[in-house]
Amino acid sequence: MDCGIIPIREVLGGGYAGKKVGVRGWIYRTRSSGSKAFLVVRDSSGIIQVTASRDELPEREFDDAKKALIETSVVVSGKVFEDKRAPGGYEIHPDKFGVVSFADVFPITKDQSEEFLRDNRHLWIRSRYMTAIMKIRSTVTGAIHEFFRERGYCEFTPPILQPNQCEGGSTLFEVKYYGEKTYLSQTWQLYAEAAIFSLEKIYDVSPTFRAEKSKTSRHLSEFWMAEMEAAWMEIDECSEVAKDEIKFIIRKVLENNRDDLEVLGRETADLEHCLNASFPTITYTDALKLLKEKDGMDVPWGKDLRTIEEETIMNHFDTPVVVTHYPKEAMAFYKPVDPAAKDAPGQVAKCFDMLAPKGYGEIVGGSQRDTDVEELKKYLERDGEDPANYKFYFDTRRYGSVPHSGYGLGVERVIAWICGLENIKDAIPFPRTLARCSP
Ligand code: ATP
Ligand code: MG
């Protein structure tokens, strides 16, 4: 090549008209007529039109340009011309057209079913749709690291193989562990609670596994959870951190991924609104009142909120909402009772969920952590667990216990909402669900 290769995005940025450039990538669209081949080439940064002419290329190269199918890998160089009709406003007229590897007929064409696209996810991740989502995903996880590090949190990595449940035995994935059995992590929480006694403020972004036995558009069997845990932190402060984190993530996506949101057809006015709005906090009891008064829905006090109820509540809001103080009896064993709660003191837990608007459901779940070993034992027994298996966890309460809180943010739930996806399966490159563990 007599000129350097540059990203397609750079060519489209302007300043190259009349100059020679080189680009490399894969054929995204192709059509030819007589002495011209009209190709669109994509690389990780964008797409550009390449108009190959018989009289500007060596014969063999022009023949290659004409016969190359979609996904053929190519290296092209030539002069850049401004052309309003071309995607991005520029096109290249190549004087060199090199095929790196010819492609077979690509199985993915327009209008294929979601299932077909998921069966072929290893190829579908080349689509502009999936590329845009994966770029946004990268911004989201990068933002999470940045958010916590800026605030003095230390990254802490939990084990993935764990001997105990923390979020309910029914969703555990069992793993053969030499002669014994163990489980894949449902959360880092029990280990995070041990680590705050040295590091105080910690976070992670880790793979999380839950055998979700019903089909929903918001549950994966393998997902990534961004969790935080902090010593000396009570529940109110904890939910404020979660609000700040969500705003931080949105800000970073709006700063870095406008083009990608556009590829997805995602309007951004509601996201921009979230940056400047304050997210309301309501209690579970208030949420039930709202459902009754505004929607005529009668939910008996004490029942956890179902998807339909969460969605109905969120019809009344245009930003995420924090719902606090769920009934203690419906909660996981580690969420402590709040004896001084505004509504139903002694019957509700120091906990919160953050719900996203537009039917995206729960994006964050958090709580203060019970420090009373007898209470912990009682509720483990309620759940059919043997407290003897949690000795290491009780130890964390025995040596200088402090109030502490934490939450988990579902990375794919947040991505699905920010990207406006219909199904959480598109928020992760290779989804694992009840019905799918391949490719
Ligand atoms: P849900 O009621 O939606 O099942 P949960 O109460 O089980 O959620 P938590 O245990 O609080 O969820 O987990 C923290 C966060 O992890 C949730 O707020 C959600 O964003 C995310 N999450 C939980 N389960 C899944 C899953 N199966 N797939 C994707 N994300 C999940
Ligand atoms: Mg769940």
pLDDT of residue 2: 47
Q: Assess whether 218 and 142 both reside in one domain.
A: yes
Pairing mode, strands 154-155 and 281-283: unpaired
* Residue 367 CA, ligand 2 centroid: distance in Å: 15
The number of domains in the chain is 2
Q: Report which protein residue has its CA nearest ligand 1's atom 21.
A: 410
pLDDT of residue 76: 98
pLDDT of residue 1: 45
Q: Assess whether 133 and 58 both reside in one domain.
A: no
> What is the sign, positive or negative, of the torsion defined by CA atoms of 378, 383, 389, 393?
negative
Please report the DSSP string for 273-292 in residue order.
Answer: HHHHSPPPEEEHHHHHHHHH
pLDDT in tens, the chain (439 residues): 445 899 999 999 989 999 999 999 999 999 998 999 999 999 999 999 999 999 999 999 999 999 999 999 999 999 999 999 998 999 999 999 999 999 999 999 988 999 999 999 999 999 999 999 999 999 999 999 999 999 999 999 999 999 999 888 899 999 999 999 999 999 999 999 999 999 999 999 999 999 999 888 999 999 999 999 999 999 999 999 999 999 999 999 999 999 999 999 999 999 999 999 999 999 999 999 999 999 999 999 999 999 999 999 999 999 999 999 999 999 999 999 999 999 999 999 999 999 999 999 999 999 999 999 999 999 999 999 999 999 999 999 999 999 999 999 999 999 999 999 999 999 999 999 999 999 9
Beta-bridged to residue 142, according to DSSP, are none
Domain boundary among 73, 101, 129: 101
Cα radius of gyration rounded to whole Å, the chain: 26
Distance CA 274, CA 246 (A): 9
SS3 409: strand
Counting Cβ atoms within 10 Å, is residue 109 exposed (0-12), middle (13-18) or buried (19+)? exposed
Q: Assess whether 242 and 291 both reside in one domain.
A: yes
Domain that residue 148 falls in: 118-427
* Residue 227 CA, ligand 2 centroid: distance in Å: 15
Question: Which atom of ligand 1 approaches the CA of 407 most closely?
Answer: 14
Bond into 439 cis (ω within 30): yes
* Residue 83 CA, ligand 2 centroid: distance in Å: 52
Residue 262's CB is within 10 A of a number of other CB atoms, namely: 12
pLDDT of residue 422: 95
Contact predicate 414/140, CB 8 Å: yes
Q: Assess whether 220 and 272 both reside in one domain.
A: yes
Bond into 403 cis (ω within 30): no
Q: What predicted TM-score, i.e. pTM, was given to this entire model?
A: 0.96
What angle (nearest 5°) sits at the alpha carbon of residue 262, between those of residues 259 and 263? 90
* Residue 223 CA, ligand 2 centroid: distance in Å: 12
Question: Is 434 within the bounds of a domain?
Answer: no
Closest-approaching ligand to the CA atom of 170: 2
Ligand 1 shell residues, CB under 6 Å = 167, 210, 212, 219-220, 223, 225, 361-365, 408, 410, 412-413
The CATH number for 19's domain is 2.40.50.140
Please report the DSSP string for 98-161 in residue order.
Answer: EEEE-----S--SS--HHHHHHTHHHHTTSHHHHHHHHHHHHHHHHHHHHHHHTTPEE----SE
Q: How far is CA 3 from the centre of its chain?
A: 39
Question: Which atom of ligand 1 approaches the CA of 171 most closely?
Answer: 27
Question: Which atom of ligand 1 approaches the CA of 210 most closely?
Answer: 27
Q: Assess whether 179 and 276 both reside in one domain.
A: yes
Closest CA to 185 of 219, 160, 165: 160
Question: Which atom of ligand 1 approaches the CA of 220 most closely?
Answer: 28
pLDDT of residue 3: 57
The CATH number for 170's domain is 3.30.930.10
